Structure 1
Amino acid sequence: MQKQTAMEKLPDDLKIEILLHLPVKSLLRFKSVSKSWLSLISDPSFANLHFQRSSQHTLRFPYRIHQQIRSIDLNTSLHDDSATIKLDSPINYDVILTSCRGFLLLLNKEEDDLLLWNPSTGEHKHIPLPLPWVLSELYGFCYDESTHDYLIVLASSLSLLSPSVLGFYVFSVRTNSWEKLALDHQVLHVTPSPGVGSVVNGAIHWLVWYPPCRVKKILAFDIRTRSLLQQLVLEPDDVDLGGLCYLRVFGGSLALIDITDHEIKVWMMKEYGVKSSWTKLMSVSSLRGMCFSYCKPICLTKNGQLVTLQRNLELLKWSEGGELLEVRDYDDYQNFWLLAAAIVYTETLLPLS
C-alpha cells in the first residue's frame, strides 16, 4: 500500500487553506495527485473561495510581445519577471474588450466573432455576433448573480444594413442565445471607442454622448432587469466630461479618471448613486514633458497605486501622492496586442457553466 504524504494526512480544512494560496496552474497540476485532491480542487465551493482569495492578491495584465501572449501581476514590481507568465492563447483575436470573474472577452473584427476565454484554465467559448455588420459601440460583460449566468451586452446606433438591427443585444451563456431588447437609447457614440462598460452595483456603466447638445453622461444598464436605469449616475462637479475620461471600477467602487495633456485626476464614488460622495482620490502631474494624451488608466493596485499604459508601449506605476514609482518600457517590441480598454483579470478556476 502506498504511504500517505504529509499533506494527505492533514484535515481537509487545513488542506484547503494551503491550496487557496496556490496559483491556478499549480492547482490544475495537483488534480492528478490523487482522487481526493481531484475531488477537493474540482469542488465549485473551492473554486469560489480561491477566486475570492486570488482577487485580493493578484491583478494580471495581458499583453502580446511578438507572437507570445503574456500576463504580469501588477500588484508586484513591474520589473519582477517571475510574476510574468506565458499564456496559451487562441489565435485570430485582435482586441481584448473586457473581463469578468477571470474570463476575458475577445473580439475578432474581421470574422464578426467573440470569444470568452479563461487564460488560467484554457476554457473558451466562441460566440458569433448576433447579426453581421452590426457596428457595436457599447460592450459589456458581466455575471448575473440572480440567475448565475454570464451575460454579454452589445449596443449600436450604427449599421451598414438597416435601422432595424440597431439597439441592445444580450447574450446568455446559460441559454447560449442572443436576445434583442426593446430599449430606447439615443447614444450618438462613445469615447473612448469602443465603449467598454464598467460593472458595479449590479449595473454596466458607459460614458456616452447624448443628442441634441452632444452632452456626455454616464449610461447604466441594470443586469438583473436587463433595462436602462432611468436615473443617470451623475458625475462630480469638478470634472469636464467633454475631455478625455475613462470609467473604471477601483476597489469595488465606480471610478472616473479625468485626463488632460499634463494631469491625471482620479475620482471615486464612495456611495453608489450619490453625487456628493464623489471623492478625489489622487492627482498625477506629467514629468519631463510627458504628455498624457495617449495614456490609458489600467487599475488601482492593492496598495493604492495607479497603473497606466502610455502610448501602448510602456507601463507606469504611480503612488497615492502622484509620485512616479516605476516605468517598464516595451519600446523595443513592435507587436503589442490591441487593447480596447487596458483591462486586468484575476486567475480563476471558475467555469462558464
Structure 2
Amino acid sequence: MNHGKQPSKQGVKQDTAMDVYDIQFSIFTRLPLKSLLRFQSVSKPWNAIISDIKKSKETSPKNLLLVHLNDGLFEFRDLESPQIVIGNRQFPLKRFLYPTTLCSCDCLVLMKTPMDYNEYALWNPYTNEYRTFVCPYQNGMSTPHGCGLCYDSSDDDYKVILIYSSFCVVYHVKRNYWTKKTIVSSRVGSLNVRPWECIPGISVDGCVFWSLGFLGINQLLRRMSMIIYFDVKSDEFKELPEPDFIGLRQSFRLTSLKGCVGLYGGSTYELDIWIMEQGLISPKGRVGLYGDRTYGKELDGS
C-alpha cells in the first residue's frame, strides 16, 4: 500500500547516538538539493553523502521494492529494473544485535531485539531514521500472538498493533502513545494458546488481517478458520465469516494481491487464487503446477 508520498519521516527519528555519516546524512537531507550540489567538491565523504541524497531524492519510494537480505540488512530495488538503488542498509542501533524483522508497511520496518522482550524499533531504511519504544503491556507473555503495521489516512499516522490473549495494544507513532483494546471475537478462546512466534498481519487499505483458528493466529486459513482484522480508522477488531470453499485437508495462505486481501492454496498440483473485494471473497484464477511447468486460467466464480 502506498499513499503517493514519502511515508516515513513523520514521527520516526533518532533517539540514540549515530556515526558521523548518519548525522551528516540526517542534516543534509533537510537542505535543498540545489544548495547541496554546490558543496560536493568539499571532500570525498561529503561527495559520497550528497550523491546518496541526490539518488534518493530522484527515486520515489513508491517505485522501490524493499528486500530483506538478513538480520537488520536491507536493500532497495527498482521495480522497473533489477537495479539496486540503495544497497546494504544496516539497522544503525548497535545494541539491537541480530534484530528480528516482524513486519513492514510503506518502507517502514517494525523490528524487535531478542535482548529485550518489550522493546521494539520502527525504522525507515530509505532515510535511515528510526525510533525505539517499549510496550507497557505484557500480560505475562514475552511474545505477542500477532503484530501489524498500518497507515491510518484519516489520522495521517502509522499504527503498530500487537495482539495478546484477550486484548491488543496499538502504538500511535506520530503522537507517541499507546491504547489498549479488548478483542471481541467468537474465537477469542483460541488466543489462549501460547504463541511460538509473533505472526505478522497483512496490511491492506487501512486494515491488518490475520487468520484465527483453533491453534491461534497464523497466516494459513484452514477449515474452521476465520479471518480477523484490525481497522485502524475505528481502532476495532472485526471478523469475517468462515469461508465455505476450503476443503478438509486444504489450506490457503493470506497475502496481498493488487491492493486487496488475497488467498492462494488448494492442493499439491493446483493453486486456487481468491481475492476479497467489498467484503466478499471470490475466485480469481487457478495456477497448475506440474514439475517445472505452470499454467493459469481465470475462474468465473460460479
Residue equivalent to 1:172: 172
d(CA) in 2 for partners of 1:241 and 1:121?
47
Post-superposition CA distance 1:191-235 (Å, at most 9, x none): 9953211122432111111599x8211002111111122x51554
Q: Which runs of no fewer than 5 residues in structure 1 stay unpaired?
A: 1-19, 38-48, 158-165, 289-317, 323-353
**8 Å contact kept, 1:234–1:273:** no
Deviation string 1:279-321 (CA, Å, 9 cap, x unpaired) is: 22x4252637xxxxxxxxxxxxxxxxxxxxxxxxxxxxx9884
User: Cα deviation per residue 1:33-83 (whole Å; 9 max; x = unaligned)?
Assistant: 41799xxxxxxxxxxx989x542x33222112xx88243638467xx5756
Give the AA of the match of 1:221: F
Q: Is 1:216–1:241's contact at 8 Å kept on the other side of the alignment? A: no
- Which of residues 114, 122, 127 in structure 1 aligns to 2:120? 114
Whether the 8 Å CA contact 1:167–1:183 is kept in 2: the answer is yes
Structure 1 residues 135-173: Cα deviation after superposition (integer angstroms, max 9, x where no partner): 31111111111111111111112xxxxxxxx41111111
| 1:182 corresponds to | 182
Q: Does 1:205 align with 2:209?
A: yes
Conserved in 2, the CA contact under 8 Å of 1:187 and 1:208? no
Displacement of 1:250: 1.6
Alignment of 1:279-318 (within 5 A): 279-280=284-285, 282-285=286-289, 287=291
SS in 2 for 1:34: helix
Counterpart of 2:151 in structure 1 is 143
In the TM superposition, residue 131 of structure 1 has moved relative to its aligned partner by 2.9
Residue of structure 1 in register with 2:97 after alignment: 92
Unmatched tracts of structure 2, length 5 or more:
1-5, 7-24, 39-56, 217-222, 298-302
Does the CA-based 8 Å contact 1:210-1:217 persist in structure 2?
no
Shift of 1:266: 3.1
Q: Deviations over 1:87-146 (max 9, x none)?
A: 122442532111112101112233122110000110101121233434311111111111
Q: Percent identity?
A: 22
Q: Which has the higher relative contact order, 1 or 2, with Cα contacts under 8 A spaced 6 or more apart? A: 1
Cα deviation, residue 244, structure 1? 4.3
CA RMSD of superposed structures (Å):
4.1
C-alpha displacement of 1:240:
4.0
- In the alignment, the residues of structure 2 paired with residue 242 and residue 122 of structure 1 have an alpha-carbon distance, to the nearest angstrom, of 45
Whole-Å separation in 1 of the counterparts to 2:254 and 2:235:
20
CA distance in 2, matches of 1:254, 1:217: 14
Matching residue within 231, 246, 256 for 1:249: 256
Contact persistence 1:97–1:105 (CA under 8 A): yes
Structure 1 letter corresponding to 2:230: F
TM-score, scaled relative to structure 1: 0.56
* In 1, Cα distance between equivalents of 2:272 and 2:196: 17
For this pair of structures, how many residues does the alignment match?
239
Partner of residue 124 from structure 1, selected from 126, 130, 135: 130
Cα separation, 2, equivalents of 1:252 and 1:29: 32
More deviation in 200-209 or 182-191? 182-191
Residue 252 of structure 1, CA deviation: 0.7
CA contact 1:130–1:169 (8 Å) conserved in 2: no
Tell me which residue corresponds to 1:103: 108
CA distance in 2, matches of 1:263, 1:86: 37
After superposition, the Cα gap between the structure-2 partners of 1:287 and 1:199, relative to the gap in structure 1 and judged at 3 Å, is same
TM-score by length of 2: 0.64
Residue type of the alignment partner of 1:172: H
Structure 1 171/30 Cα, relative in aligned 2: closer, same or farther at 3 Å? closer
